[in-house]
Structures are given as C-alpha cells and as structure tokens.
Amino acid sequence: MNALTEHSHQYIIIMKNEQMAKKEEIQDVVPARIIQQPKPALPPIESMIMEIRGLQVMIDRDLAMLYGVETKALNQAVKRNKERFPNHFHFQLDNEEFNRLVTNCDRFEKLKHSSFAPFAFTEQGVAMLSTVLRGPVAVNVSIRIIDAFVAMRHILVHSYGDLLHHRVETLENSHLQLLNRQAESDKRIDEVFRRLDQGHTIPTQGIFYEGQIFDAYTFAADLIKSAKKRIVLMDNYIDESVLLMLSKRRDGVSALIVTRKITETLQLDLERHQRQYPPIEVRERADFHDRFLCIDDTVYHLGASLKDLGKKLFAFSRMDMPAGELFGRM
C-alpha cells in the first residue's frame, strides 16, 4: 500500500510538471499572437483645416477620426443638440462644394459615391463639440484642434499682410507708370495743339478780295483777341462796328483809337459803348494817312479802314518795326 501511494504521488508530481511546462509554453506563444500593429500616424491637424465659403473649417469625417468616434455618431450627437450648432458653427456642403472636396482631397475619395454630403465645422463648432461628446479625450482633442485653428489664422494673417504689402507696391508702381504715361500723353497733346496753333498763326501778310467780308472780319477779330496788353488803332474812318470789334479784346487790355476827327455821331456811339463795355480812349490826330493796327508791340499796316474790310480788295502786312518806334517818330 505504501508502494502504491508513493507511485501515485510521483505520478501526480509528473503531471503537474507537464502542466506547468505547457502553461509556460502557452505564455510564450500567446503574447506574440495578440501584439497589435501600430496605428498609422494621423496627419497634422493643420492639414485638415480648409477654406469653404470663406471660412476656416474641418470636415466631420476628419473630426470623427480625431475624436475616435464614428462619423455617424458625431453627427447624431450634433443633431440631438442642434440648438447649440447654428449655421455659423456648422453647415452641410452643397453639391458643388462636395464635388470639389472629393476631387481635391484624396482622403475623401471614398465619399465620391456617397449620396449624403458631409458637414463642415468652424472653430466655434469644434469648441462646441467638446460639450456634446463629453469626456477628457474630447476636451483634449478640441483644445488641440482650436490651437491648430489659431495657428492657421496666424499664418493667414501674416500671409495676407505680405500679400497686401505686395499688392500695395504693385498698385503704387502701376499708378506711377500711369502718371508717367499720362505725362507723356500730355506732352504729345500739347505738341499737337502747338502745331495746330502754328497752323492757325495769324499770317504776316496777304490780300483779301472783294466780298471776303467775313474772312476779313475774322482776321481782324483774331488780331484783336491776340493782344495781351494794349491795342492802338490809327484810322480816320471809325464807326460803331469798329467799337464793337474792339470789345472782343481780352480783359485788362487797353484800347486806343487815333483818328482825324471825333464827329458827333462817333462821340454818341462811344458814350453808348462805354456804358456796356470796357472804355476805349479816342484821340484826334491828323498827321497820318494810312491805317495801322498795333497789337502790343507788333505793327500791322492795313490797306483799308477796319470798318470796310472785305468790301473791296485790300492788302495787309506786318511791319518789321516795333510799335514804340512808330509812336516815337510821330
């Protein structure tokens, strides 16, 4: 009996040893089978922020991945608390925005055939998500995302500042070029008008034929209008038409008529003229025969009286002597 008991005891010990060995063998194998593959690294949060409708937003699918929940669960939580998510907190993409998102972002390619457009969340919407999803993980993720929004806003502000500075410089350069071109154009226009003026310069001599009354009148009027300081007319035949012609002179230009005799009719016409127009001085002098019209210091010799220009053939010429010399010899 003792031998049998001892044999049974040895058998039990052997069985325990084999069981322990198998247990150790299992412990060596199982951990190798349950080792999990490392999750792929998530892209930077900044790369998930995009601009839609002029706002910096994140798509619900990216947010669900960061929060560790399903996209459907995230949107259901928002739907249950829709009063916390007004339109400027989150909105659903329209067809054009959805197509542009799928086309430009490879990570949303699987949504290409989806009939349900994703939602976009602004920075305020992300902050509100932490109150809906609850838990420390949601709070930490929301803080990280909001920090990313702030960083992106900082980058955009500096980028916009540089862009604005560049645009201001471009506008200044464009404005300067425009001013230069305008100045050049003004010079060309001035040159055109100068040449046109040269083309209309009062001739130095010529002949008017009988019947050219208007042409002769225009010629005399242009001479009178060209005066800058004074006009002196030496003519023995003066009437109201001559007074009217002299009234066309510029403001501040004096007018003097030298004639052989001031008749009563001329005196009456002169008084009436002085009441309406700048005064004309008239002096009597009988020691000349021809007609002279002095415009500032330029002397013109006229072959007919000013009142008779164009009625008969007459000639005119500009004399090569200053008006002062003519008056000095008289």
Residue 102's alpha-carbon distances to 37, 116, 119, in angstroms, are 29, 13, 13
**Predicted pLDDT of residue 34:** 35
Q: Report whether pLDDT(11) > 60.
A: no
The whole-chain average pLDDT of the chain stands at 78
Residue 67: other Cβ atoms inside 10 A: 22
Alpha carbons 55 and 113: distance in angstroms, whole number: 26
Q: What is the pLDDT of residues 217-269, one digit of tens each?
A: 888 888 899 899 999 999 998 988 898 889 889 999 999 999 999 999 889 98
The CA distances from residue 109 to 3, 101, 117, 278, in Å, are 78, 9, 13, 91
Per DSSP, the residues of 136-189 read HHHHHHHHHHHHHHHHHHHHHHHHHHHHHHHHHHHHHHHHHHHHHHHHHHHHHH
**Per-residue pLDDT tens digits for 21-33:** 444 443 443 333 4
Task: Give the per-residue pLDDT at 2.
Answer: 46
Position 200 confidence tier, pLDDT thresholds 50, 70, 90:
low
Kindly report, residue by residue over 64-104, the tens digit of the pLDDT: 888 888 889 899 999 999 899 998 899 999 999 998 888 88
Question: Residues spanned by CATH 3.30.870.10 within the chain?
Answer: 205-329
> Taking each helix axis from N to C terminus, what angle separates 71-80 and 123-133, rounded to the nearest 10 degrees?
90
- Write the pLDDT tens digit of every residue in 15-63: 555 555 444 443 443 333 433 444 455 667 878 888 899 888 989 998 8
Quick one: fold of 205-329? Endonuclease; Chain A (3.30.870)
pLDDT at 218: 85
